[in-house]
Structure 1
């Protein structure tokens, strides 16, 4: 028997063991006594073993080591960077995809897998009213944004496809808010545009892009001989959860003949909930949309989606034909829709979760996390030593410690924060994580109209988001009490004061 083969009896035994280890890990991560961040010893690197060992022993060793040396995203006290505990149905779908291991470059190799992925992508396209649109699964929002930028560039400046950027009469530029994801800056470089092609537009008091300043920037660039081709709005920024005014951006892009892409990696999943159409309805007016089911839909990593309203525009930049690739009846194959060629069966976990839970479960999921975010903000407002600095319609909250109470002020403009308040915000976030009580982060928010356009500028504030579907009110109440407790620690205050 080949060395990679296992008997059916051993296979069943190992699958049962994996299930027990997985359930045990989730139980451990969720326990109140478990630190959100665990580090239990370092592992010295070892050479590749020469001889085989027990698969069960190796599996147990890996599960124990990884389960005790991790930031536990499965903890209900993880309020972090859009990384939820994955839903069980998604985990099962991912495991089944690994077992089946179809090759999704072309339909001829994976007819069933291709059909299920189209069905799942169709849920999003139908919600937007883009029934003739095109969708593709990606490794995440960054890849989806790259695909969308390339589609926009080729569609608005079609000469690029054949002659490259040197064939253009000017420098292509596109527009993002100062709170946009910085993968966009990286991709400007990757696409050969150069990082100066990214035009950073200042934000308002809610950290959303200002359309008036966007319009002025477009006029300036056109007078200077540059070639505007796209605007990237954001539906749920990473730092503050800000939502750009998509309807106004869509109207402006139509007047200026620009492509409107919306980075909805976090908030875009809300389109599955008609109940919240008042928040996301304008997304249907975009030309393309990114969303990440591995964020708000609680899917295992990786799973991103890029959706394009015009199917011809979606396929144009990536359409090639290889002699060795089987030709099917489809006019456009998967490998002709993005940067990947050989591709994992990414969509099965989403399709299976959709079957198991149904659309209404996602509506309840969104509503619950929004309600919990409001609960946290209300509990925070009752503490004189804390105040919010942003309150997104999505479940992300940025807040600050106060050196002195501000009477009758629940929300504080970031430009009013003192130097010591900023230092304490960083110290509190770091100490909370160091003690393992919860995972929150520090971030920087630019004051309204700062116009800096550069990352890592602006006052430091604390940030939390409700992302784990197991989080309850009692966890949030504990977070507020722990923040109060830490803020009263004289040693922490002295350390924060010295940090400046």
Structure 2
């Protein structure tokens, strides 16, 4: 069995190398894709080998190649073979993570991995709580419902309608929209999320936060949570976490740090200083699959309030085996019941690479971001935003009205993939360096592509 899995790992690396030799963008045809699927009417069985050939052909031909070093996309890192093998092992053994008894080894592997990650975030592994989730949306949901239960004990049994005042969540205007959905899901309503304007660098404006807090109190509302973003999706911006902590000494709100992308940089010895203050948060969201070279489907939630997790999620299910001493059944302390063995891909990556090598990998991406900033300035481009992380937004004074045309011209050439965002009412180009394979030579190719379409 080990030899077969090692063969899968080797073949995966070969396929990844093949991706790098092709264009970053495939020729996409909706009609061709649908035509390929017509033969699958699901009435007659087909040989597994034929199905594998068809699926592999389709995914290889009609898929954005996120494993490509010239893919500068939306937090989709290149992956390594250990993640492929991990997901294969999970599918093979199919452990059920709801209770410790259903999958003792898998639960202990996750517990061991979570303890390591707690330390990286500056949390005491013995007094805090962490769990793997499906992704950032589930983690943010967990943060809000836990904070509600902590602040309003009556919420657990009677819901939002039992609360005398409207609970309020503060998040910057650039915070992830999952918070809007979470407010809807928890019964608070979407208007419970108050968007705080950002400053000229697109960080949460602290003065406007203070004014809004006082205004809401005067209007009879009850602020209970502040969400600080570490690495906004559009710009990679880090909100002023330490200033929010200082303000919160008098406000005593639940501080949640949404670090779905940026959180992983706590592993980088060079970049972790950018996340200063995160260790004082009441809770943290991080998506390992947005920062580390692993397949999609790995979220992470962390909180200092260990005791509140059981208060929030515990139920009694007589059909489930009793807990054993020293273990915790995850269905009693988290949103999910049946859950995939998410932690294995992270465990195997950490075990195979070692934290020092992962630190170097993430530091390399930060360095590539800094190098690209220099390339931009040297070639007459203007950088907007001030993220120290490897998301770079930029425009050109001679072509400010043509950014969308420039982007489309680059994409039409299919060598590289990048995107655009709105920055203070104007379209700008956006590059995110999330591949450990991206080197200076690839950044120079990107710059050459920009020069070519601007001639």
Fold agreement, TM-score > 0.5: yes
User: 2:311 & 2:201 partners in 1: Cα distance?
Assistant: 37
Q: What is the Cα deviation at residue 63 of structure 1?
A: 0.9
For the aligned residue pairs, the C-alpha RMSD in angstroms reads 2.1
1:102 is displaced (CA, Å) by 0.4
Tell whether 2:109 aligns with 1:116.
Answer: yes
Task: Answer with 393-402 or 42-51: which moved more.
Answer: 42-51
Alpha-carbon distance, 1:34 to partner: 2.3
The answer to whether the Cα contact below 8 Å between 2:9 and 2:85 also exists between their aligned partners in 1 is no
Contact 1:262 1:288 in 2 (8 A): yes
**Correspondence 1:28 to 2:22:** no
What is the distance in 2 between the residues matched to 1:234 and 1:288? 12
How far apart are the structure 2 equivalents of 1:331 and 1:97?
21
What is the aligned counterpart of 2:409 among 431, 446, 455?
431
State TM-score, norm by structure 1.
0.85
Aligned residue in 1 for 2:330: 334
Distance 1:58 1:150, change over 3 A: same
Q: 1:108 to 1:357 in 2, by over 3 A?
A: same
Q: Which residue of 1 aligns with 2:33?
A: 42
What is the TM-score normalised by the length of structure 2?
0.93
Report the secondary structure of 1:307's partner residue.
strand
Structure 2 SS opposite 1:162? helix
Provide the C-alpha distance between the structure 1 equivalents of 2:332 and 2:405, rounded to a whole number of angstroms.
48
1:444 is the counterpart of 2:422: yes
- Residue 383 of structure 1 deviates from its aligned partner by 1.4
The CA distance in 2 between the partners of 1:121 and 1:17, in whole Å, is 29
Between 242-251 and 46-55, report the one with greater CA deviation: 46-55
Aligned to 1:478: 445
Give matches, 1:316-335, under 5 Å: 316-329=311-324, 332-335=328-331
- TM superposition shift of 1:149: 1.0
| Cα distance in 2 for residues equivalent to 1:177 and 1:35 | 33
Match of 2:350 among 354, 360, 366: 354
Residue 477 (structure 1) shift: 0.6
For residue 383 of structure 1, what is the aligned residue in structure 2? 379
Retained in 2: the 8 A contact 1:102–1:109? yes
Corresponding residue for residue 102 of structure 1: 95
- Tell me the number of residue pairs that the alignment of Structure 1 and Structure 2 aligns: 448
Report the 3-state secondary structure (helix = DSSP H, G, I; strand = E; otherwise coil) of the residue aligned with 1:181. Answer: coil
In structure 2, list runs of 5 or more residues that go unmatched: none
The CA distance in 2 between the partners of 1:249 and 1:59, in whole Å, is 52
DSSP-derived class of the 2:132 partner = strand
Q: Which residue matches 2:396? A: 401
Q: 1:104 Cα deviation (Å)?
A: 0.3
Give the drift of 1:19: 6.0
SS at match of 1:107: coil
- Distance (whole Å) between structure 2 residues aligned to residue 214 and residue 16 of structure 1: 53
Give the secondary-structure state (helix, strand or coil) at the position aligned to 1:106: coil
SS of residue matched to 1:108? coil
**2:426 alignment partner in structure 1:** 459
